[in-house]
Structure 1
Amino acid sequence: MSAEAAGEFPAAAPLPAAEGTAHTAAREPGGRPPEITRGTARPEGGGRAAGGAAPAPARQWPILLVLAGALIGLVVTATGQFRAGTIIVGASLLVGAGLRWALTAVGMLAVRSRFTDVITYGILGAAILLLALMAQPDPVIRIPFLEDIIHFSVR
């Protein structure tokens, strides 16, 4: 019977100490070495959107564009124009989806994979835009089955 089959495992080798740290071979309960993250990979397209010579805000222009649009939409909403403000917020998220899909380097607009970011920004933007167009009073569009769901759930 081998040691593995008997439930006995050899002790793991200690992790090498990083330069300039006082790392010891302390182990967590159960004999596992402590988990140390050495680095994290950037998401695809997460590099600078402009060259390194450009000032910091210019390097992150895609996320700044989307955030500026959302901020403008929130200000418009706060001034009493609910429908117009939420349409601007939804449209800025759709712009973010388009930028993420079309550009290879979008800086901090890249959060996960390109596919995940485009789907997330697109669904959220479309949902906000759709709800803004359906808002009462005087909705711009009517979707009867959604009205039926709301009436059924409110009863």
Structure 2
Amino acid sequence: MNQQTAELANPVRHFHVRLSPTPRGARLARLLGVEQLRSWGLPLDPARQIIAELAVNAATHGRVPGRDFRLTLHVVAGTLRIEVTDTRGDEPPRRRPASADPGAESGRGLVLVEALADRWGVSDGRFPRKTVWAEVRLSAPEPTF
């Protein structure tokens, strides 16, 4: 396989969108992310849930009035990287232990991300930004109809 054939077999893909840090913005992040994955012919799960959790966290905990959050999807060499950047760099995400409060209705987002992603973490950006990211190894593309 020559270099050009390898690049066609594993193209580099990139998508990003800025959204309002609201419940509607978080929902749009999930919907737009899923549509982008679908258009690339990539598996939707577990990425759909990871996008949803990270976007809700950005809209809930990373919210600064008047400042958007950004969803970015990168595909490189068979790995999907999901990034959500918000403007609360002073508030690092905290993963709560699943047993902390079994009756709680929230607080398990990063536990889910950790379980679904192959890797995840947080990167500091230019102040006041932070990016929470997750990586998922991709299986064979889904057939398109």
The TM-score, its normalising length taken from structure 2, stands at: 0.32
> Which structure would you say has the larger Rg?
1
Q: Which gives a bigger RCO, structure 1 or 2 (Cα 8 Å, sep 6+)?
A: 2
Higher share of residues assigned strand: 2
Higher share of residues assigned helix: 1
